[in-house]
A and B are shown apart, each in its own frame.
Chain A
Amino acid sequence: KAGVTQTPRYLIKTRGQQVTLSCSPISGHRSVSWYQQTPGQGLQFLFEYFSETQRNKGNFPGRFSGRQFSNSRSEMNVSTLELGDSALYLCASSSGRTDTQYFGPGTRLTVL
Chain B
Amino acid sequence: AQTVTQSQPEMSVQEAETVTLSCTYDTSESDYYLFWYKQPPSRQMILVIRQEAYKQQNATENRFSVNFQKAAKSFSLKISDSQLGDAAMYFCAYRRLYSGNTPLVFGKGTRLSVIA
Query: Nearest Cβ in chain A — how far from B10, in angstroms?
Result: 14
Given contacts A50-B101, A105-B42, are A100 and B106 in contact (CB under 8 A)? no
Q: Which of B19-27, B44-52, B60-68, B73-81 lies on the face that meets chain A?
A: B44-52
B100 close to chain A: CB less than 8 A: yes
Say yes or no: A45 contacts B103, CB within 8 Å: yes
Instruction: Report Cα–Cα, A101/B104, bound state, in Å.
Output: 8
Q: Mark B7-34, 1 if CB is under 8 A from A, else 0.
A: 0000000000000000000000000010
Residues of A near B43 (CB, < 8 A) are 88, 105-106, 108
Dominant SS among interface residues on chain B: loop
Say yes or no: A90 contacts B101, CB within 8 Å: no
Given contacts A42-B109, A58-B103, are A103 and B35 in contact (CB under 8 A)? no
Nearest chain B residue, comparing its CB with the CB of A3: B44
Residues of B that sit less than 8 Å from A by CB: 33, 35, 37, 42-47, 50, 91, 95, 97-109
Residues of A that sit less than 8 Å from B by CB: 33, 35, 42-43, 45, 48, 50, 55-56, 58, 88, 90, 92, 96, 99-106, 108
- What are 22 A-B residue pairs whose CB atoms fall within 8 Å in the complex? A33-B103, A33-B104, A35-B103, A42-B107, A43-B104, A45-B104, A50-B101, A55-B101, A56-B103, A58-B103, A92-B104, A96-B100, A99-B98, A99-B99, A100-B35, A102-B47, A103-B37, A103-B46, A104-B44, A105-B42, A105-B44, A108-B43
